[in-house]
Amino acid sequence: MKLNKAGLQNRVKWEEKGYQLPRYDVDKMVAATRENPFWIHFGAGNLFRAFHARVVDDMLNAGVLDRGIIAVEGFDYEIVEKRYLPHDNLGIVVTLKADGTIEKKVVASVAEAVALDSESEERFGRLKEIFSKDSLQMATFTITEKGYSLVDGKGEVLKAVEEDFVAGPERPASYLGKVSALMYARYQAGAKPIAMVSTDNCSHNGDKLYAAISAFAKAWVENGKAEAGFADYIDSDKVSFTWSMIDKITPRPDTSVEAMLEADGVEDLAPVVTSKNTYVALFVNAEETEYLVIEDDFPNGRPELEKGGLMFTDRETVDKVERMKVCTCLNPLHTCLAIFGCVLGYEKISEEMKDEQLKKLVETVGYVEGLPVVVNPGILDPKEFIDTVLQVRVPNPFMPDTPQRIATDTSQKLAIRFGETIKAYAASEELKVSDLKRIPLVFAGWLRYLMAIDDSGKKFELSPDPLLDTVCPVVADIHLGEAADVEELLRPVLANKAIFGVDLYEVGMAELVCKYFREMTAGVGAVRETLKKYV
SS3 content of the chain, % helix, strand, coil (to 5): 50, 10, 40
pLDDT at residue 351 tops 80: yes
Q: What's the rounded mean pLDDT across residues 361-375? A: 95
Q: What's the rounded mean pLDDT across residues 343-360? A: 96
Q: What percent of the chain has pLDDT over 70?
A: 100
Indicate the average pLDDT of the chain: 95
Question: Tell me: the pLDDT tens digits for 241-256?
Answer: 999 999 998 988 989 9
Query: What pLDDT, on a 0 to 100 scale, did the predictor assign at position 93?
Result: 98
Q: How many CB atoms lie within 10 A of CB 45?
A: 21
Total number of residues shown for the chain: 535
Label residue 445 by pLDDT band (50, 70, 90).
very high
Contacts of 236 (CB under 8 A, 6+ apart): 191
Going from the C-alpha of 46 to that of each of 51, 105, 161, 264, the distances in angstroms are 8, 14, 27, 22
Closest CA to 435 of 446, 421, 447, 448: 421
Cβ pair 217, 161 in contact under 8 A: no
End-to-end CA distance of the chain: 51
Burial profile 353-367: b = 16 or more Cβ within 10 angstroms, e = fewer? bebebbbebbbbbbb
Query: What pLDDT, on a 0 to 100 scale, did the predictor assign at position 201?
Result: 84
Question: Tell me: the pLDDT tens digits for 124-176?
Answer: 999 999 999 999 999 999 998 889 999 987 889 999 999 999 999 999 999 99
Q: What's the rounded mean pLDDT across residues 291-303? A: 97
Query: What pLDDT, on a 0 to 100 scale, did the predictor assign at position 328?
Result: 87
Cβ pair 148, 409 in contact under 8 A: no
